[in-house]
Amino acid sequence: MAEKCPRNGFVPVSAAAMVHAMTLQDNQVKGACGHDCPDTCGWVVTVEQGRATALVGDRDHPFTRGTLCAKVNHYLDRVYHPERVLHPLRRVGPKGSGQFERVTWDEALADIAARWQAVIAEHGAEAILPYSSAGVQGLVQQASLDMRLFGVLGASRLDRNICGAVASAGMKATLGVGTGIDPEQVSHAKLIVLWGTNTVVTNLHYWPQVKAAQKAGATLVVIDPVRTRTAEEADWHIQLLPGSDAALAMAVMHVMQRDGLVDEDYVRAHALGYDELVRKLADHSPEAMSPIIGLPAADIERFARLYATTQPSLLRPLIGIEHHINGAMQFRAVSCLPVLSGAFRHRGGGIARSTHALHYAALDMDAVERPDTWKPARTLNMRDLGKDLCDPALDPPVKALMVYGANPASTIPNQNLIERGLAREDLFTVVHDMVLTDTARFADYVLPATSQIEHLDLSPAWGHLYLALNRPAIDPPGEALCNTELFRRLAKALGREEPWLYDSDEAMIRTALASGHPWLEGITYDRLWNEGHARLSAPEDWRPFAEGNFPTPSGKAELWSETLLQMGQEPLPDVGAIRREAGLQLITGKQVPVLNSAYGHIDIHKKRAGTLFIELDPADAEARGLSEGDLVRAHNRLGEIHGLCRISQRLRPGIAWMPFGHLEDASGVRRGVNVLTDEAPTDWGGGTGYYDAFVEVELLD
Ligand SMILES: Nc1nc2c(c(=O)[nH]1)N[C@H]1C(S)=C(S)[C@@H](COP(=O)(O)OP(=O)(O)OC[C@H]3O[C@@H](n4cnc5c(=O)[nH]c(N)nc54)[C@H](O)[C@@H]3O)O[C@H]1N2
Ligand SMILES: Nc1nc2c(c(=O)[nH]1)N[C@H]1C(S)=C(S)[C@@H](COP(=O)(O)OP(=O)(O)OC[C@H]3O[C@@H](n4cnc5c(=O)[nH]c(N)nc54)[C@H](O)[C@@H]3O)O[C@H]1N2
Ligand SMILES: [Mo]
């Protein structure tokens, strides 16, 4: 059972942990940011009389080095925001109206348990859909007791794939992993290719490392259809057409093979299917690929030669190339480049994507999530939430939805359809969050969640190898509960007696750290408690594929993939299916002042983000008779959204850009860019082509 705290009943931390907190010197507590971001910054919270009075970057953290981002610099505004949900709320108005009344935890929990039990009795447990994402990123708060509870109930499972899964699936087809090398090895690189990632904005603490390497003589290339702030800093910005990265990779491989620039020794020893690939590359010359990529063949030749003749060369992709319908193939094709160039042999060479899987492979995740106790159940794809909620043929239908650590009404494609589904009178929706999100406005119950400074968590990172312990600095305000405590109470309300549904957070973290994995050697709970963070014990000069050892079925880098063939996919790297439709291709990008759909309700961030705008190339604006500052509507068959017209030199003709994360449009209506995106599936990996939306833009009368 969970430990009881004499002050407020259940608390998310164990009694032992509370004692530690009280014996800390001074009034400062180390923690780590829990946002869905590669940086996972270390921070220090100052507490005075139970109130957090300062939150600053932890100078001891080797990767984030004492700085935070524009959002988290004001994290305490989020913690103490007047609109923060502090008590359980029950709906009193129509769905979507955001009208609620305060109820007690006991009332809310008893009613939720009774409603779920009724759904299970009538439709079976699969009629319950838990929907969560990485709103709080960490070992126990993100996914632990929730997985256990919904697992033993036999609720529907969620295929979580809108961020990273497609990239990982694509890379795995070639390399057997979705990770690559340690990103910090960038300091050894002589060529750095930021491929579809806006590092300055989204991966702030990696940027100084990239810049330092550039200053030390490395050439920095940015591949992006948009001239982002990151692209501005590059030695060379390759501004290709969206979705044409695989075509570029094919052309580069063509040149490498044609000109004898392939590391033949490496390829013959460690790759499978090179001869088949060579035959295919014959018709992927720069000239042949040029119309697809939208760049002159000479530029493609030049990039190919630069890549093939510079070592060590490091490719750094994040999300940009996965949010297309050929997203997995784009990652598969790009991952072939360091195999052909032999870059993996060299320190700082290869490809460096998310480090998420490196942390989670070291931790004992099965002990945390306990899949051994789960009942078999169907899996629904998060991308299809709107379709599933509105599908009369879905059997069983989704009758109960529980959303936590996510805001699908704003972040999943086809916002209008999702809202239609959430408005269903026969759907029972519970949302656990700190704020009244777009999704929460449709809930039957809104439950108050803790902020990161109010709960304990172990924080693995997806942008580096440092594991952190996030210590709670203050008591939760009002009646807020952390995710794990909520699921303990839900288990109790449902009358569950399995003891593992009540494990404490500390116990789960200790278990996860006790995996025996060599990279966790010397990393104990107590050390993390005292020091805040520790680097996974990977060798300093870690070159996982210098001598092959790819964890693919064949043990080699698979230029030819039997696995893909069995899946009905093209077994060799390929251009993939590129979506081109009438209208402007809409790319929606991350912004500095907000974190996905979060922070938009806080004045300072709202002001910085400004009024929603739609950015166009001068040629496209002129063709539509539009001027800077006009109020325009962007629309397609799914819906419309209003914004101010912005005309810039950042785009190419045919491309429009809108910022992702505004909570309302220029007409003050609560709708974001996902009213214009559909659920177009990626080739494999289960994700969606967010950046393959097509719109028309015109003056709003
Ligand atoms: N400030 C801030 N930071 C964030 C976030 C945030 O909302 N705000 N979100 C966090 C999250 S959840 C994530 S996943 C990361 C994502 O981090 P990034 O991957 O850096 O983010 P994106 O802006 O989605 O996409 C990167 C770039 O891909 C480009 N792109 C689009 N299509 C293509 C294409 O076909 N080819 C190529 N080569 N490029 C293309 C876009 O123009 C964009 O500049 O950022 C995290 N960090
Ligand atoms: N058009 C378009 N759509 C996109 C993207 C894009 O670039 N363009 N990017 C996509 C990407 S990469 C991602 S990752 C997704 C993000 O999609 P989501 O994960 O749905 O997005 P967030 O807005 O980060 O929502 C997280 C929520 O978790 C809440 N939260 C924070 N901490 C806690 C906690 O401790 N407990 C609970 N219960 N809740 C908490 C926050 O308040 C917030 O409301 O969006 C995707 N959607
Ligand atoms: Mo993401």
Question: In angstroms, rounded to a whole number, what is the distance separating the alpha carbons of residues 68 and 607?
Answer: 19
Mean pLDDT along residues 674-681: 98
**Four-way CATH pick for 166-353+545-560: 3.50.50.60, 3.30.420.40, 1.20.810.10, 3.40.228.10:** 3.40.228.10
pLDDT in tens, 374-408: 999 999 999 999 999 999 999 999 999 999 999 99
Per residue in 216-253, pLDDT tens? 999 999 999 999 999 999 999 999 999 999 999 999 99
Q: How far is the CA of 404 from the centre of ligand 2 (A)?
A: 10
Ligand in closest contact with the CA of 383: 2
Q: Which of 142, 224, 591 to mutate to test the pocket of ligand 1 (most atoms within 8 A of CB)?
A: 224
584-699: which CATH topology? Barwin-like endoglucanases (2.40.40)
Q: What is the DSSP letter of 199?
A: H
What is the number of helices (H) and of strands (E) in the chain? Answer: 26, 29
In degrees, to the nearest 5, what angle opens at C-alpha 66 toward C-alphas 64 and 70?
A: 80
3-class DSSP assignment, residue 36: coil
Distance, CA of 382 to CA of 161 (rounded, Å)? 7
Dihedral (Cα; 494, 499, 501, 503), 10-degree rounding: 140
Q: Do domains 166-353+545-560 and 584-699 have the same CATH topology?
A: no
Cα–ligand 1 centroid distance for 537 (angstroms)? 29
Cα–Cα distance, 410 to 656 (Å, whole number)? 20
Query: What stretch of H or E contains 605?
Result: helix 603-609
Torsion of CA 200, 351, 314, 235, to 10 degrees: -40
- Architecture (CATH level 2) of domain 89-161+359-453+476-502: 3-Layer(aba) Sandwich (3.40)
Residues with Cβ within 6 A of ligand 2?
A: 36, 133-136, 141, 162-163, 319, 404-408, 411, 432-435, 437, 449-450, 483, 588, 590, 595-598, 660, 673-674, 677, 690
Backbone angles phi, psi at 461, to 5 degrees: -120, 150
Which ligand has the shortest distance to the CA of 320?
1
SS3 label, residue 322:
coil
Q: Which residues surround ligand 3, an ion (CB under 5 A)?
A: 163
What distance in Å separates the CA atoms of residue 295 and residue 572, rounded to the nearest whole number? 24
Task: Kindly give the residue spans of alpha helices, DSSP state H, lying in 36-138.
Answer: 75-79, 105-123
The chain-wide mean pLDDT, for the chain, equals: 95
The Cα-based distances of 355 to 179, 331, 547 in angstroms read: 6, 16, 21
> What are the pLDDT digits (tens) for 471-505?
999 999 999 999 999 999 999 999 999 999 999 99
CB of 572 closer than 8 Å to CB of 564:
no
Ligand 1 contact, 342 CB (< 6 A): no
Tell me if 319 CB under 6 Å of ligand 1: yes
Q: What pLDDT band is residue 26 in, cutting at 50, 70 and 90?
A: confident
Q: Which of 64, 68, 197 to mutate to test the pocket of ligand 1 (most atoms within 8 A of CB)?
A: 197
Q: How far is CA 4 from CA 118, 452, 502, in A?
A: 30, 21, 12
Tens-digit pLDDT profile for residues 53-85? 999 999 999 999 999 999 999 999 999 999 999
Burial of 28 (0-12, 13-18, 19+ CB in 10 A): middle
Q: Tell which atom from ligand 1 comes closest to the C-alpha of 596.
A: 7
360, with CB counted inside 10 A (0-12, 13-18, 19+), is: middle
pLDDT band of 25, cuts 50, 70, 90 = low
Long-range contacts of 662-670 (CB under 8 A, 24+ apart): 662/594, 662/600, 662/609, 662/612, 663/410, 663/438, 663/597, 663/600, 663/601, 664/612, 665/612, 665/641, 666/611, 666/612, 666/613, 666/631, 666/642, 667/631, 667/642, 667/700, 669/642, 670/438, 670/441
- Tokens 């919270």, residue? 45
One-letter identity of residue 597:
S
Q: Which of 672, 36, 686 is nearest to 383 (CA)?
A: 686
Of 407, 458, 462, best ligand 2 pocket probe by most atoms within 8 Å of the beta carbon: 407
Under 8 Å between Cβ of 250 and 233: no
Q: Could you give the C-alpha distances from 609 to 52, 320, 409, 502, 505, in angstroms and in order?
A: 26, 21, 20, 42, 37
Taking only the tens place, the pLDDT of each residue in 546-598 is: 999 999 999 999 999 999 999 999 999 999 999 999 999 999 999 999 999 99
**Where do the structural domains in the chain lie, given as residue ranges?**
89-161+359-453+476-502, 166-353+545-560, 584-699
CA distances from 288 to 49, 170, 283, 291 (A): 69, 24, 7, 7
Quick check: CB of 411 below 6 Å from ligand 1?
no
Among all chains, which residue has been given the structure tokens 């994507």? 353
Atom of ligand 2 nearest to the CA of 408: 20
